[in-house]
Structures are given as structure tokens and as C-alpha cells.
Structure 1
């Protein structure tokens, strides 16, 4: 099992951490005091993700010059029913309602749902650690559907759903749950393969049925098109009694738990960074940005292959045959991993946002703590990181300090001095405050330090293991104890 309370497939809304380093003091489940920081069944894992490792740069259709149908050359769609030509306005025979009126009502419902304020995020670092404490027993309530409910089209079980679960096996215990739904484990009756079944949340009262269906199926539509060793494999979607279920491959280890153990070696950290970069490069080459990269959104196989999960916040920034970058909007992600432009700009390129998050993940692996709580001037750690030191201050950082006087570091050196020397150049560029000059994936792969890393991967369905390190495997319910064994 690779999570205990919260789901590593990140079902809940992103939460922030309130302190850095991350620590916890009390728990009703564990009597001993915890004093640690966030850290820098072989047969049960199905081998169905892919048969070979695809190219890191998949084919993406290039735009044509002077294309009259290009996105930038299209006229804006009508935003009001008054702008629609009469010949395109239709009505049904009943006369009591019209498709145009229904369309307007749906539009009103959708616009109303968008007015919901951004879900508040927790300000406590304990929320990041609650996954490691055993959940209380959840009472299950069985409800019997009435005949009227069974006859309802929105509640009926489709033929696809009737045999949908049967072909995957028997549904097991709950792995985790949150605001976005819950995840159960499923074991095949024939070959004992394991699957993760994600049941999406119920429809909000303020959502229209169309809006709800679009939201809960969007993640499947994106995930099912992605096939890469470092991307979770999305296998199927099942609709049952008005609820949607997503079938994914099962990975036994939670990356957050591995980092929390503090047992990752230098070679393992480098391999993990390169694997995450490999997966993100594949996404960007497909015209897709993740926008919520963090420790919680990675899982690990028994062979040490890291897989990126949760595409509920993903954004398409480039469409086939188009060259224009589509800007993203909204505050999406968890506070410590956010790029500063997400909070300061209404529209932003989501590619540099992912690059920033990767650098923060590396800092977490190396330092076993967050470099800051949130990338705002109100956060003292980030304020010092973003400050520009004077020339005298820069010289003092590298000068001998025989009196051991405490030095307040300003600028990127505040963080970079704590990281491995060989990583400072490229990590510094990945944490450039200006997204326009921040390192791109192409520039990162050309860095000498990145090139020198060895990386475990899959080729033709076989594990190609690097020989200079082993991968840590920690059950998430034991991660809080592993920190004491160092």
C-alpha cells in the first residue's frame, strides 16, 4: 500500500504548508514525538504500462505558414445569443422550452460555478504529514435505490459499466480519499494484477450535468493519450450509477514517503530528478503542462521508476498545427511549489511553471525541507531569495568568516549554497524569477551535470537499471518511523 490517509493520486484540492521545514509534534495515533523534516510484492505490480520507452520528443504536427484556419486568424466565437444568426437558432415542437433557452441556462449555470472563490488552502504544515497517521475506521452506509432512481437515465448503469468492473477483478480496500473522490485497490481474479480505481467526487449542486461530466472526464481524456515510462498509465473510465471511475496502473510506493524517510542517496536523487524531467519533457513536447508538480503527485514502482500522476490541473498550451502559446490562468498547485508568476500574473505560460516546480522538488529531496512556504514577498525566506544583494554583500558571502558572525544571505545564493555545487548553475536558472529567461527543457538537457547523471528507465519492456545507486522503497505507513533510523 502506498498511502494511508490522503491519496497519492491527489484527490483533494491542493493544500499549502504553513512552515518550513516541515515538521509535526503531536498525533492522536502515535504517542511518540516526531521531530523530522521533509526530505531531500514484486508480483503485485502490473507490467502493462508500455512495451518500450518512447522517444523523449514525440512527433508534434507543425503549423503551416499563412494558415487561414490557424487559431490566431479565427474570429472570436459569439458570446451572446443575439450574435447568433437566426438560421442557426432552433426550437423544439413543445414550445414550452427551446434548445436556445436550454443552452442559455447551461451557460448561466456554468458561469455561476466559475464564480466560486478559490478553495482555501490549509496553512498548517501538519496537513502535509497527515497522510502518515492511520485513518479512523470509516462507517459505510448502504443505500438502496428506488425503482424511480433505477429508471432514471442519469442513475442507470450502462452496459459498459456492467462488465467494466468485472474485467478488472474484485474491488478492495480504500487507498485514500479526499475532496476529489476516493481511490480503491482492485485485484484481478485471473492473474493477480493490481489496479487503482479512482471514483470521482459527486456533482456539486452549483454544477450543471454537462459541466460536471466535462470536468471528471477531462483527466481521463488527457491521461489516456499519454504513454511514457515516467507517466502513470490511464487504462479505462467506467460510468456506474451516475458516478465516474478511472482505472489506472497501480504503483506500490508513494514518492512523498520515500523522500520523508531521508534515506535517498545522492545518486538516487539525481536519477529521480532526471526521471521527472524526462516525464515533463514528454508532456511539454505533447503541448501539455502539468501545473501541479510536487512530491505528492509522483509514485514509484518496485523497480524505482518514478511516474507522474494527477492531470486534473493540466493545461494545453499548444495545439497541433499551431505555433501560438496558449496562456494559462488561475492559481493552480500547492503553495511551496508555485512559480511566482502564478500569483502575480493573470495570464502566464505554464511551461516555465513546471520547470520551477521541478527545481523545488529537487531542493526538497536534497534538503528535506521546503525552501519557502509560498513565493510571496510576505514570506521572509522567499523575500531574501528574491532580493538583490549589493556587491559588498556578495563578496562577503565567499570571504573567510573567522569570527563566525551570522550572515544574512540575499539573492539566489541563499538557497543555492545549500545544494550540491554541480547543481547550482542549472538549478539557479530553473529558479529564475523571470519566466522569460528561465531555463527551458532543451537548455536543461544540455547542462553538463544533467548529462552526467545515470538514470533507471525502461526499454522494450525491460528495466535498464543504473549501477551506481539503489532505489529506496518505503511503505508510506512506515515513513514516519524510517526517519528515526538514520
Structure 2
């Protein structure tokens, strides 16, 4: 779901300069493929129902029993649309409850929520199929408790009997819009990347693969936090009682970010490994402002075949201008072999990543404003 950005990042003299093609980059792949909003994601997959996923989902399943009585009005009134996808509309909801304010002028505020209003069931799907898709996403996402993952609060009905997920609202917009503004500093880029990896490491630790990591699904708060959202195609690859996991099935996600193993004939792969590939593409996009290739499929994408030829010698032209520590990490995240690809925990243990200090409440390690977004351009909520 593409969350329209409401602001751009704060710029200074240390803006990231997206490298241009140099004389020694003789391959055509030295110019990134233009970054653009991801096309509708692939959805050739089966989704687990609530009764087939881990015990940790009990919090989510218990809330489903409220659906006969819970109404969206309990959370306030929706007043602004943020985005629309093939399955749902995202809006902002303002609570009627007033939040105590420390504003010296005595201005009062109310809590805001993001509301995902799902489309009604179409004629092509059964009631069981429709409810399985809807409740599976909620059952998975409502159990997460991590600073870098959007909190899913409730599943309710609106006045038109449409199912709605109530979520934490992130007014800073999505990372895609900020990347396109080209106003992120090096410090902000690395901070956002580390936060994304912290969120991914958490998801993988509880046995969940996101399977649609992309800038549009990385939201920002006003105090510098990055949060992973949209678990519509997520998969539980290891239940709480299991010591070993299982492979994910189906071609899902947004094409430029899908790992090469997902394009194989049987579409069976380790979901967590595929997430790392997607995160590596996000990392590349943040620094270069584009994609190295359109599709990680050696049969159909010439630029990806070029990468495969150069990856073993680590001589791919598009990576030449990355600093050495970053370049090494990109190659390890974009390892064509999923069995030897680096994990999220290993990324966080990387010496360069450990040297990155994540901002706290909008202030970085040098006591400078560090919002990742342009606060002055925010429209009053």
C-alpha cells in the first residue's frame, strides 16, 4: 500500500549525491533504472488462516471475537485519504478523545490512527477465502511489538460493514517519497537503513517473513523512527513450537525487489532470505535513487545477467562508487545464492552497521535535528 508522503527530508550541505555514469563504467548497467512507484504486487500465493499460525497470534485471534460489536466510530472519524490500493483504502482517523498537551499556548490535540478499509468480497472469491486473507494479515501483524514495526491495534467494522484495520499513524510519509526528494543526508540514510534491518531482524526472530519489503512499505514518524508496515503477503515460516522452519510458496511482492529464487519454477524459497535481498535493493535505491535492474530473473533481464557475471569478482559497475564497507554489505545482501546470503542478525553485527548511531526522538548523535523529513512542509493534521 503506497502511503503518500506529506513532507520531504531536511536538507543541508551534506546531501547525498546520486553518482553519475563515469568514464570507466563501460557497462550500460552503470546508470540505475529509474525509481518509480512499485507496480501492483504479485499475489500468487496461499495465506495461512489464524488457526494455522503460531501461539503468539492468540492476541490477534481473541480480538476477532469483537467484530460483531466493535465499530470504527469507537476510534473517531476518518477525515483524509492517504492512499488506495487494489484491496484497501488507507485513511486517517481522528479520535474524539483529547490528548493532554505540553504546548505552552494551550493548544489541544487528539490521537490519530491510520485506518485500512478493506474492499468488500468480490464474486470470484468465497466467504471463507475472503475472511482467511483478511484475518490472517491481522492475526500476524497484531502480535508485533517493536519500535520499527507499525503497531496494529484492532480489527473493526465501519458503518458500511467493511472490515477495517486500526493501526498506528506515521505522519512522516513513506521512504519512497523521501528518496525521490533526494534530500536525505548520509547520516539519515544510514539511520533509516539500520532501523529497517532492526525491524526485519525482529520479524525473522518471531518466525515471520514480510515478503514485500520496499520503500513504500517503510513509514516514518516525526521523531526519526522508521517502521515496517503492510503484512498482506507475510508468511509465518516457523511456528512458536517448531525448531526448524519451512519454505514459503508463491511469487509475491513487488517485482524490482523480489529475490531471484522466487522466480524459479516451483516458487519455493526461504522467506527470510528473500527479505534480505529486498532490503539490499532498498539499500541500493536509497543511495542511487534507482534500481540496478527491473527483475532479478536471468532469463528475462539483461542487467541482472550482467550483475551475475560481475558479482563473483565484486566488480559490478553500479556498486563501484559505494564506500568499501557499504559495498561489501550490498554484495552479501544481494548474494544470488540464498543459502549463503547474509541474515538480518548478521547485518546488524556488521562492523560498519554497528558504527551507525540511530537517532533518538529526532536528535542524532551530534545533537542535530534528525527527522528524515521536512517538518516545515507538513500540513496541519
Normalising by structure 1, we get a TM-score of: 0.60
How far off is 1:444 after superposition? 1.6
Q: What residue number does 2:4 align with?
A: 3
Which string of whole-angstrom CA distances, capped at 9 and with x for unpartnered residues, describes residues 244-297 of structure 1? 111011111222111111011111111111000000000000000101000010
How far off is 1:306 after superposition? 0.4
How far off is 1:354 after superposition? 0.6
How far off is 1:163 after superposition? 5.4
Which string of whole-angstrom CA distances, capped at 9 and with x for unpartnered residues, describes residues 184-237 of structure 1? 211012221111111112212121111111111111111110011100010110
**2:256 matches 1:336:** yes
Assess if the C-alpha contact under 8 Å between 1:2 and 1:251 holds in 2.
no
**2:77 matches 1:174:** no
Assess if the C-alpha contact under 8 Å between 1:264 and 1:471 holds in 2.
no
Assess if the C-alpha contact under 8 Å between 2:43 and 2:251 holds in 1.
no
**2:111 matches 1:198:** no
Q: What residue number does 1:370 align with?
A: 291
Greater mean alpha carbon deviation, residues 294-303 or residues 234-243: 234-243
Q: What residue number does 2:96 align with?
A: 189
Mapping 1:74-473, distance limit 5 Å? 118=44, 160=67, 164-191=71-98, 192-240=110-158, 241-252=160-171, 253-346=173-266, 347-377=268-298, 378-388=300-310, 413-457=316-360, 463=361, 465-468=363-366, 470-473=370-373
Q: What residue number does 2:34 align with?
A: 22
Give the direction of change, closer, same or farther, for the CA distance of 1:312–1:2 in structure 2 (3 Å limit): closer
Distance 2:201 2:43 in 1: 32
Assess if the C-alpha contact under 8 Å between 2:257 and 2:277 holds in 1.
yes
Assess if the C-alpha contact under 8 Å between 1:283 and 1:289 holds in 2.
yes
How far off is 1:318 after superposition? 0.7
Distance 2:198 2:363 in 1: 16
Alignment coverage as a number of residue pairs: 312
How far off is 1:456 after superposition? 2.3
Distance 1:345 1:448 in 2: 37
Indicate the structure (1 or 2) with the bigger Cα radius of gyration: 1
How far off is 1:117 after superposition? 8.8
Q: Which residues of structure 1 form unaligned runs of 5+?
A: 6-18, 24-36, 39-115, 120-157, 395-410, 458-462, 479-486
Which string of whole-angstrom CA distances, capped at 9 and with x for unpartnered residues, describes residues 385-424 of structure 1? 011589xxx6xxxxxxxxxxxxxxxx65333213222211
Normalising by structure 2, we get a TM-score of: 0.75
Give the alignment's Cα RMSD to 1 decimal: 2.9
Structure 1 stretches of 4+ moved >6 Å: none
How far off is 1:345 after superposition? 4.9
Q: Which residues of structure 2 form unaligned runs of 5+?
A: 7-30, 46-64, 99-109
Which string of whole-angstrom CA distances, capped at 9 and with x for unpartnered residues, describes residues 133-186 of structure 1? xxxxxxxxxxxxxxxxxxxxxxxxx98566522321122122221211111211
Q: What residue number does 2:20 align with?
A: none
SS in 1 for 2:34: coil
Distance 1:256 1:380 in 2: 25
Assess if the C-alpha contact under 8 Å between 1:261 and 1:474 holds in 2.
no
Distance 1:229 1:185 in 2: 21
